[in-house]
Amino acid sequence: MSGLVEDKVALITGAGSGIGRGSALVFAREGAKVAVADLNGDLGAETVRLIHEAGGTAELIGCDVADDGQVAAMVARVLELWGRLDCAHNNAGITTKGAPLHELSLAEWERTIAVNLSGIFYCMRHEIPVMLKQGGGAIVNTSSGAGLVAAKGLAHYCASKHGILGLTKTAAQELARTGVRVNAVCPGVVETPTLLAHMAKSPEIAKGIQASTARGVMGRPDEIGEAVVWLCSDRASYVNGEAMLVDGGTVAR
């Protein structure tokens, strides 16, 4: 049996660690050629190595998604490598220092919006023309549970993740009759290096994060990747404009 995305070309941003790496590994396992894009070349190279060791195909592309020119070059590089772009997981994002809205610094606000929201816009504005030209494709953007509900002290993060859903739904409507589908995943608490480092600061922080999840356990990056790959596959051919929660039921409480 062939994989869900056999012989397709997939681009994943922020693929050097966390959800991006988990997604890249699932795409490769399911038969895709994977463009591993990340600002951190060492982390990206490790993801490529893991894919190669598992018998998959992957290439590293350095990119800061907050820079439209670098995003354009990233998509052009994918075309140089494989001549097409079938699947895109626009995943790169950051979490900066939190504070009540009126105490947020302009630097924290602007950097979060630049990476999390403008970065998604830049990716889609360069990916969509490629997919339209070839007659189809699938895009999945990483939002968050914080794209659906509020999180105190994270106004900048919530705004960016809510905004991603607005971009996703608008693009899905605009492209509905073209063969290009656009969806989003909304992960809950996921076991990533960044989160684990934060939890390691104190037992209280770790306990609070664990308690915030419906099942009392964190999700794994590959569990998010499974949802992304399915959304990009032909199995999800009638799914468009969806904001899929992958959080173990946390937001549903």
pLDDT attached to residue 203 = 84
pLDDT attached to residue 1 = 63
pLDDT over 90 at 110, yes or no: yes
Helix (H) or strand (E) holding 58: strand 57-62
pLDDT attached to residue 215 = 87
* 122 labelled catalytic: no
pLDDT over 90 at 112, yes or no: yes
Q: What percent of the chain has pLDDT over 70?
A: 100
pLDDT over 70 at 192, yes or no: yes
pLDDT digits (tens, 9 = 90+) for 177-189: 999 999 999 999 9
As beta bridge partners, residue 182 has 139
3-state helix, strand, coil in the chain (%, to 5): 50, 15, 35
CATH (residue range 9-190+221-246)? 3.40.50.720
pLDDT digits (tens, 9 = 90+) for 199-211: 788 888 778 788 8
Q: What percent of the chain has pLDDT over 90?
A: 86
Show the DSSP H helices in the chain as ranges.
Answer: 18-29, 41-53, 68-82, 106-112, 119-134, 155-174, 193-199, 203-211, 221-232
| Active-site option among 157, 172, 180, 244 | 157
Query: Sorting pLDDT into bands at 50, 70 and 90, what band is 122?
Result: very high
The mean per-residue pLDDT over the stretch 22-37 comes to 98
The mean per-residue pLDDT over the stretch 3-13 comes to 98
DSSP 113: I
pLDDT over 90 at 62, yes or no: yes
Q: What residue type is assigned to position 151 of the chain?
A: A
| C-alpha to C-alpha distance for 139 and 242, rounded to whole angstroms | 11
pLDDT digits (tens, 9 = 90+) for 70-98: 999 999 999 999 999 999 999 999 988 88
Edge-first strand order for the sheet with 33-38 is 57-62, 33-38, 9-13, 87-90, 137-142, 180-187, 243-246
> What integer best gives the mean pLDDT of the chain?
95
Residue with tokens 């290009």: 180
In terms of Cβ atoms closer than 10 Å to its own Cβ (0-12, 13-18, 19+), residue 211 is exposed
